[in-house]
Chains A and B, each alone.
Chain A
Amino acid sequence: MNKSVGADEGRAARREQILAGLASAVDQMDEKSAVQLAREALDAGLDAYEAVTEGLSKGMALVSEKYDKGVYFVPEILLCADAMYAAIEVLRPHLKSGEGAGRATVVIGVIEGDVHDIGKNIVRLMLEAAGFTVHDLGNDVPVSRFVEKAREVGGGIVAASTLMSTTMGNMERLVVALRDAGLRDRFRVMIGGGPVSASFARRIGADAYGSSAMEAVRIANTFSRRACTARTLDNERQP
């Protein structure tokens, strides 16, 4: 019995070590270690989904923090993301379908008129690392394209960003267009980017403003839980 407790403790320690290693490999732009640790995670019997959410995405959170603080810049973010994606490729076949299914689907894009997509890409990476299914529409995305995709996925979160004050008006048009299409009740709308703010989000009728990539994920998580609750209630109402 003592032996098996010891083995459990050993496994727990190994698990912590691998997860911390994955986070650090992403944070340190170390693609090779990230891939190797992803393999070790599978060999050690770790859950692949956990390796993403407790390992890689924690690493990406560190990266985002460094970016916000001006320690990391665009090249560093790209290399951290490369390390994360390389590890995800190893883990992907082992991510059982349905895992992360509690999380909403996100339709994300840079609003029409703007091609600055660095911030949006980071938010996308963070959401993916946190287990969200993300449809990335790219940059300079017309409002109609957001609506079309939202109709296709049926419900979840619409996330729009811009770096240019000239395109902020298109965000308001997006909220209106979702309402006109009868989709507004099925989506939470979150916005982000340099010139927008929480008060702007309130004014145009969006649900939330994310001031950073981490904040965006935190908000998406709360939306996801509420979406799940709503779904559960719906299920209960069914005969």
Chain B
Amino acid sequence: MNATQTPKQRIGAFLAGKPVDRPPCVPLVLNHAARVLGVKVRDYATDGRVMGRAHVAAYRRYGQDLITIFTDTAILAEAMGTQLHFPEDDVARVERPAVAEPGDADRLRPVDARRAGRLPVLLEAVRHCVREVGDEVFVACCYPAPFTVAATLRGTAALARDLYKNPSLADALLARSLALVEDFAEAVAEAGGIPALVDPVASGSVISRATFERFALPGIRRGMAKIRSLGMPPILHICGRTATVIDLMADSGAAVLSVDQIDLAEAKAKVGGRVCLMGNVRPAETLLGGTPDDVRREARRCLADAGDSPGGFILASGCEVPLETPAANMMALMEVTRKHDE
């Protein structure tokens, strides 16, 4: 195998089970792209052209095998009426949920996935990247799965209480969320991107396996099926701890599971035969706080633990690459797979 595959050829071959020149490496460069371009996070998060340029700049610097467009977990809820606060140079946070009171749920209206809120920002960023570098790299657009959308629509604590005290409201919000998740998948595909779902609120650090199975999994399943129906490989990312639910994640129809705080050897043993695993260099401790040597050591450990996983393995960060991650650490991570087979 000669080392001349582009990231697009490499990921394409890899997901089709064909030979690749080296293992793919996809650190989750999200808001960090703003740093590479040298713009404030708020400008990145609110202007599709800036967001697109940031991701092209990050790709040109790091050469990762997939562009991953994303800014915050509340962007779908925002399209449905949740108000956000945008710090000048940090990720947006929920200020007032659309369904702060249960009665607000009746006022939710269907929204246009191509026009509402900042969804056009993500779509424009996708189109920009596809136009600029789409011949050599796939462009994924990551956005929240229904459970996380519902949490940002209602407020996480309020939704958590609803799960026990008002499950029918939770179900209604999840159904609304799913409808937008499905519509937006189509919009992303039209723009030339790969829709990918993230579900941080469904993390095993936050909810139990029983809650995951009852409230989060059905929406993930439908989302994955939708993405598959568009002819794309469904990617699911859940951060935090996932050991309690990794088998359910693998049953969701996902082709790729991007995981964070889990022993990769354990994940491989449990689900490596069914899905491609992706992970999990620690973002804060290692990528942000470590030295290039620390990064190399940990990346090699990931490859040793899961590089031979039968369903395939993509070296990645466990969660979002922190904003201020030194470029030297990113380069060290990218080098590990480039030199892996030498």
A residues adjacent to B (C-beta < 8 A): 29, 70-76, 78-79, 82, 115, 164-166, 195
Nearest Cβ in chain A — how far from B261, in angstroms? 10
Confirm or deny: B157 has a beta carbon within 8 angstroms of a beta carbon on chain A: yes
Contact between A79 and B284, CB atoms less than 8 A apart: no
Instruction: Place the interface of chain B in its size category.
Output: 10 to 19
Please name all residues of chain A whose beta carbon is closer than 8 Å to the beta carbon of B163 when the two chains form the complex. Answer: 75
Q: B81-102 vs A: 1/0 string, CB under 8 Å? A: 0000000000001000000000
As a 0/1 sequence over residues 142 to 184 of chain B, the CB contacts with chain A under 8 angstroms (1 = contact) are: 0000000000000011001101110000000000000000000
Contact partner of A73 (CB less than 8 A), chosen from B157, B211, B284, B285, is: B211
* B265, CB-defined interface residue at 8 Å: no
Chain B residues with a Cβ under 8 A of chain A: 93, 156-157, 160-161, 163-165, 206-208, 211, 244, 284-285, 288-289, 322
A73 contacts B207, C-beta separation under 8 Å: yes
Among residues of B, the one whose C-beta sits closest to the C-beta of A164 is B284
C-alpha gap A164/B208 in the complex (Å): 23
Selected A-B contacts with CB under 8 Å, 10 pairs: A29-B164, A74-B156, A75-B164, A75-B207, A75-B208, A79-B164, A79-B165, A164-B284, A166-B288, A195-B284
6 further contact pairs, Cβ within 8 A, besides A75-B161, A164-B284: A71-B208, A74-B206, A75-B207, A75-B211, A78-B157, A166-B288
- Contact in complex: B160, A75 (CB < 8 Å): yes
Least Cβ–Cβ distance between B332 and chain A, in angstroms: 18
A73 contacts B208, CB within 8 Å?
Answer: yes
Is A78 in contact with B161, judged by CB distance below 8 angstroms? yes
B284 and A82 within 8 A (CB): no
Residue of A nearest to B322 (CB): A166
Q: Which of the residues A70, A74, A115, A166 comes within 8 Å of B160, measured between beta carbons? A: A74
B244: A residues at CB distance < 8 A: 70
CA distance A78 to B161 in the complex (A): 7
